[in-house]
Amino acid sequence: MPSIVLENLTIDIPVLSIRARSLRTIAVAKARAIGGRIIDSGSHVSVVRALDQISFTLGRGDRLGLIGPNGAGKSTLIRVLADIYAPSAGTIERRGTLIPMFDIGIGFDPEATGYENIMLRGMMMGLTRREIAARTDEIAAFSELGEYLDLPIRTYSAGMTLRLMFSIATSVAGDIILMDEWISVGDESFQSKAQRRMLEITGKAGILVIASHDPNTLRQHCTLGMRLEKGRVVDFGPIEKVLSRPILNAAV
Amino acid sequence: MASSIDTDRALHDLGDVFFRSTIWSSLAHADIRSKYRLSTFGSLWITLTTGALALAIGLFYGQFFGQDIHSYLPYFTASYITWTFIASVLGEASVTLVGAGNLIKSSQMPIVFHILRMLHRNLIIVLHNAIVLIAIWPFVRWSLHPSAVLSLAGLVLLYLFLVGTSAIIAIICVRYRDVPPLIQVLIQFLFFLTPIIWYPEQLKFGAEFLKLNPMTYMLMIVRDPILGRPVEIQTWIIAIGLSAASLIAGSLMYVRFRRRIAYWV
């Protein structure tokens, strides 16, 4: 059974200035230290606290919508849940298999054919050739791209490319979907098909976490809402309530 | 700072290097394919480029070292192929993680795979270049001994040495952006200090200094057996030691800094 438990999770992202990244700075700092007087510490590492003491628990069937202005920490939280950023403090405990659905277009080669890209993208998701080959037919069928899959994807329309990306991303078996903005795919008929697949995955007692700016999307897909501001949780509860409560950004 | 979860994760990545090796090797093949797509000669261009250079230098430079073509051409070709492998791996190691930044921040693929992908891509290039050496043999016919197969063992050792070294360089370079140009300087520097275009036995002084250069050993174990040049057992021992040391150091660094890399890219 999938679950996500965060306790006092904090993420500090170092902002390395040009100074901090250069060797000269360190050398100069060392030299000064040897001289006995440290004029300049040389380590201009400032830190952005992207997430500050976040705690929550998600269980089966929970669909969480993350709300908040740009820079509130929504995308960072999605990446923490995907194990990309390791917590600076606090803990994250996750049970279940991930279906990451953000940045699903990274790693595609425009000159390669649709089939080659299925292989390429699959490997970047950590699948072996055999594992990908086993699901290629299903991906091809779902994408409805047919013979286009033998052509370089540079010849595809934007909608077609997105259909392929979506089909690959949702081909993995998993029960936790992570999304950064809802992906609306292709024409109307494909969109409802994509929607059905998403519901199918989340419906099977899965968890969905989605960051979005669109209240309608969130109302439609989420049960829970969380408002983030400057890396802090300012509101958490049923989605309808979180969306309707006035934004408390007087403190910001 | 690194908790046990992070250590486990890093060790798991390192395990996947073996268990899921088809991923990074296939990605490397895809890179080569993608680079030479739509070209008639395809990846044979790698071979042709090296062949042209080997001929140009090998045919004329021998006279500066008092050697005739028959011995200098294969010597230079084998040297050049091996050195190109070392130099491109070290050079690319310094930019490989920075270049893969988007992927690191968006996918679950073990970060170490990016390093191995780069390394494997260069191995494919070396194997293409080795064709040049085979192609010139009928014209020069240096004596091939059975011990020539030791070159393959040498290549495996060099590969392992470069795995560790690349991991160290890649991790340092993603944190300190002054290091990549420094690596370039170092590669240039080593090119002249390593017996690539000249013969080690021609050194009148500084032979002791040559022994301090790890690249000398790593180069000799690959190049010398196939040319029928004797390789001292001591050279092999040092090369094995260097490979082991670099693998251990590279793994330790990876385990220690794995969690930080996503923050640095």
Distance, in Å, from the CA atom of B27 to the CA atom of B17, rounded to the nearest integer, reads 13
Interface of A with B in 4-63 (CB under 8 A): 13-14, 16, 21-24, 26
SS3 assignment, position B149: helix
Residue in A249, A248, A246, A245 with CA at minimum distance from that of residue A237? A245
CB contact under 8 A, B109 and A120: no
ipTM rounded to 2 decimals = 0.82
CB contact under 8 A, B23 and A14: no
Domain count, chain A: 1
Q: Is beta strand A232-238 parallel, antiparallel or unpaired with respect to A224-229?
A: antiparallel
The model's confidence at residue A203, banded by pLDDT at 50, 70 and 90, is confident
Strand partners, A113: A152
- Per-residue pLDDT, averaged over B223-240, amounts to 94
Interface of B with A in 152-191 (CB under 8 A): 175-179, 182
Q: Is A158 on the interface with B (CB under 8 A)?
A: no
Per the CB < 8 A criterion, the answer to whether A80 and A66 are in contact is no
CATH number of the domain within which A17 lies? 3.40.50.300
Instruction: Evaluate whether residue A50 is within a structural domain.
Output: yes
The parent domain of residue A7 ranges over 3-36+43-100+212-251
Alpha helices in chain A (DSSP H): 18-21, 23-35, 74-81, 114-124, 129-143, 158-169, 188-203, 215-221, 239-244
In which residue are the tokens 């795919």 written?
A: A185
Residue B1 confidence (pLDDT):
46
pTM of the full predicted structure? 0.88
Q: For A64, phi and psi rounded to 5 degrees?
A: -100, 130
pLDDT per position as a tens digit, A118-166: 999 999 888 888 999 999 999 999 999 999 999 999 999 988 999 999 9
Annotated domain spans of chain B: 4-31+42-264
pLDDT per position as a tens digit, B135-158: 999 988 888 888 899 999 999 999
Distance, in Å, from the CA atom of A44 to the CA atom of A34, rounded to the nearest integer, reads 19
In terms of Cβ atoms closer than 10 Å to its own Cβ (0-12, 13-18, 19+), residue B168 is: middle
Residue in A205, A166, A158 with CA at minimum distance from that of residue A182? A166
Distance, in Å, from the CA atom of A193 to the CA atom of A186, rounded to the nearest integer, reads 10
Q: Is A108 on the interface with B (CB under 8 A)?
A: no
Instruction: Evaluate whether residue A205 is within a structural domain.
Output: no
Dihedral angle computed from the Cα positions of residues B9, B14, B20 and B25, in that order, rounded to the nearest 10 degrees: 130
Distance, in Å, from the CA atom of B227 to the CA atom of A20, rounded to the nearest integer, reads 48
Residue A200 confidence (pLDDT):
81
Chain-centroid distance, C-alpha B55: 22
The model's confidence at residue B265, banded by pLDDT at 50, 70 and 90, is confident
